[in-house]
């Protein structure tokens, strides 16, 4: 579930960058993406251990 959310947010972020959206929107999207990626890897670590 997190992986698909990460991919969805990456696409939104790429569209925002290509569409030359304002820096604040791009920053907010990239921050959300960073948080999701961290959560995803934490979840993966728990599954491995």
Can you tell me whether residue 9 is helix, strand or coil?
helix
Q: Dump the DSSP string for 17-49.
A: HHTT--HHHHHHHHHHHHHHHHHHHHHHHHHH-
pLDDT at 48 over 90: no
Q: What is the mean pLDDT of residues 1-17?
A: 91
Task: Compute the distance between CA of residue 28 and CA of residue 24 in angstroms, rounded to an integer.
Answer: 6
**Cα distance between residue 12 and residue 1, in whole Å:** 17
pTM for this prediction: 0.77
Extract the tokens encoding 24. Answer: 């604040």
């Amino acid at each position: 579930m997190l992986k698909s959310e990460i991919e969805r947010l990456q696409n939104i972020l790429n569209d925002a960058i290509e569409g030359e959206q304002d820096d604040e929107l791009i920053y907010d999207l990239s921050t959300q993406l960073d948080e999701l990626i961290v959560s995803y890897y934490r979840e993966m670590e728990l599954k491995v251990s």
